[in-house]
Amino acid sequence: MRLPENPQPKQKILNELSRLEKLDPQYKKAKLFSLVYYLGEAYTGFLNKVFYKFFSANGLNPGAFKSLKTMERNIVEMVANLFHGDDAVCGVVTSGGTESCLLAVKTYRDFARQAKRIKKPEMIVADTAHVAWLKGAEYFNVKIHRVRSLPEGGMDIDAVKKKINRNTIMLLGSAPEYPHGLIDPISKLSALAVKYKIPLHVDACVGGFILPFIEENGHALPPWDFRVEGVTSISADIHKYGFAAKGASLILYRHQHHFEHQVFVDVDWPGGIFASPALLGTRPGGAYAAAYAALLAHGRKGYLKLAKDALSATEQLKKGITELGFKIIGNPQATLFAYRSTQAEVDVFAIADLMEKRGWFIDRIQKPDALHAMVTPGHLRIVKDYLRDLKACLVVAKKQPELSQKGQAATYGMMAHVPFRKIVKKQVLKMFASTYRISGGTLNLEDASLDNSAAEGGAQVKRPLAERFALWLAERSRKRMQKSRL
């Protein structure tokens, strides 16, 4: 494609975009269980209006767009209050959960450098912590200890304790973690954090705007927010269960003395004295305004109702899925969960393929192999359809066990079970990066193999034998895991 020579008619552009839109999952019909938090066209239209109003506004310089700075302060105050913080809480609106997580790693690393003279920073997380934390550790050069979760999910607090040493810059708990929707034992983490004087961040990116309302609706939840003494910061995404437009999250600190290490200042730049509170330079005014508007549009009562509906859909789905013979991992208390197979002949990845043929968009997870769902109020109306289709797919999967060796199931199964993780990583990296070449096209896991010949340099390694060996090992470890779980 080349930049068009002449300006294109607007209608033609809109038509082209409508055509592209058809490539996407059918989230408006609630067929998708991740990525999108959708509340219908009328509400989206309202946020769109707000977004448009501040479309060009830039939060880079808080002295220029006072509107955005005011909204940001109000958002921080409302959410600090929701999370039981006091007036000392400080924080910023960020572009998303990943930015919030990255910032926490950077902040605590720099705090530890200054306050404790720590030169080789380390952090401790559960293996179920969001990948944003792994990314943060890699970007900011912090050694990360990924503590393996207990057999049926949940953070292993004793294992965390064993990893604490004088280089530990932060502990992390999630409320809840994304893969299985389980809330980490924040109070126990807090006890460790207080005892060893280590900052404790709670990742409530997905839970921040649902847990408070689930609790207020009368469901007992373990405390996870600023009520817990050792919690020094919390991240929460307004663009998830806050139902804002994409591009809005939040990081809040209990103390300014931590937050100060997030702020970047340069006083000698020829472009002027420069201070920035977060990762981005230009900060999108539209997203901030839409986030502010979302909080106001729902209010406490609005969010209580949304939480009630989302939880109701979740409970119905969990019940139906369990009755079909699947097992929900752990005891998820929010509106996310994962389910796995309890029968050796039923491969959940094959089930996912079959469900996708029926128009659903299903997320696969690993260790153990399971299917994932993030549930919103919009899913209430599809509970019956989902369960009906799942039942039908289960029948087909049982009749055709060979499906686990075909389609995406084969690729996912292999990638989840090949023991040589470095080979897998290299291959995924190549495959993924190659989709970003001009000739790359879109990512397609259908019938992909370990050796992606489309990837540059893919043919350099002696593949066939290594690949067959890898496949054999994968199959073996997969069977062993299935057996040990039954």
Ligand X SMILES: *Cc1c(COP(=O)(O)O)cnc(C)c1O
Q: Rounded to whole angstroms, what are the CA distances from 466 to 88, 452, 453, 474? A: 58, 13, 15, 12
Nearer to ligand X, 249 or 411 (CB): 249
Task: Kindly determine how many residues on this chain lie close enough to bind ligand X according to the rule CB under 6 A.
Answer: 13
Helical H runs in 324-448?
348-357, 383-399, 407-417, 421-434
Least distance to ligand X from the beta carbon of 101, Å?
5
Q: Quick check: 122 binds ligand X (CB under 6 A)?
A: no
Which residues, other chains included, contact 24 with Cβ-Cβ below 8 Å and sequence gap of 6+? none
Question: In this chain, which of 72, 203, 347, 389 binds ligand X, going by CB under 6 A?
Answer: 203
Residue whose CB is nearest to ligand X in the complex, by number: 97
Contacts of 220 (CB under 8 A, 6+ apart): none
Q: Which stretch binds ligand X (CB under 6 A): 97-105, 108-116, 281-289, 324-332?
A: 97-105
Of residues 157 and 336, the one with the C-beta less far from ligand X? 336
Residue 8 DSSP symbol: P
Half-sphere exposure of 348 (CA within 13 A, CB side): 26
Residue 304: CA atoms inside 13 Å, Cβ hemisphere, count?
9
Residue 127 has phi, psi (to 5 degrees) of -65, -15
Whole-number minimum distance, CB 180 to ligand X, in Å? 11
Among 237, 353, 389, 467, binds ligand X (CB under 6 A): 237
- The residue (of 82 and 183) whose beta carbon lies closer to ligand X is 183
Instruction: Give the whole-angstrom CA distance, residue 33 versus residue 372.
Output: 8
Interface with ligand X by CB under 6 A: which range of 120-128, 198-206, 264-272, 384-392? 198-206
Among 68, 182, 206, 238, binds ligand X (CB under 6 A): 206
Instruction: Select the residue interacting with ligand X from 32, 101, 102, 193 (CB under 6 A).
Output: 101
Q: Which is nearer to ligand X, 97 or 378 (CB)?
A: 97
Q: Could you tell me if residue 330 is left (phi over 0), alpha (psi between -120 and 50 degrees) or otherwise beta? A: left
Q: How far is the CB of 407 from ligand X (least distance, A)?
A: 27
Rounded-to-integer distance, Cα 267 and Cα 269, Å: 6
Task: Write out the binding residues for ligand X, residues 137-176 only, by CB under 6 A.
Answer: 174
Q: By CB under 6 A, tell whether 130 contacts ligand X.
A: yes
330 binds ligand X (CB under 6 A): no
- Could you tell me which of 463, 461, 433 has the C-alpha nearest to residue 449? 463
Six token digits for residue 458: 């893919």
CB of 410 to ligand X, least distance (A): 28
Question: Shortest gap between Cβ of 369 and ligand X (angstroms)?
Answer: 20
| CA 432, 433, 435, 436 torsion-angle sign | positive
| The only residue of 89, 132, 306, 375 in contact with ligand X, by rule CB under 6 A | 132
Member of 54, 83, 178, 339 binding ligand X (CB under 6 A): 178
Secondary structure (DSSP) of 371-383: EEEE--GGGGGGH
Residue type, 247: G
Least distance to ligand X, CB of residue 184, Å: 10
Distance in Å, CB of 241 to ligand X, minimum: 10
Q: Are 284 and 354 in contact (CB under 8 A)?
A: no
Work out whether 209 is an interface residue with ligand X (CB under 6 A).
no
Smallest distance from ligand X to CB 128, Å: 9
Q: Is 203 or 467 the residue whose CB approaches ligand X more closely? A: 203
Q: Is residue 387 within 8 Å of 317, Cβ to Cβ?
A: yes
Element (H or E) spanning 172, and its range? Answer: strand 168-174
**Chain positions contacting ligand X, by CB under 6 A:** 96-98, 101, 130, 132, 174, 178, 203, 205-206, 237, 249
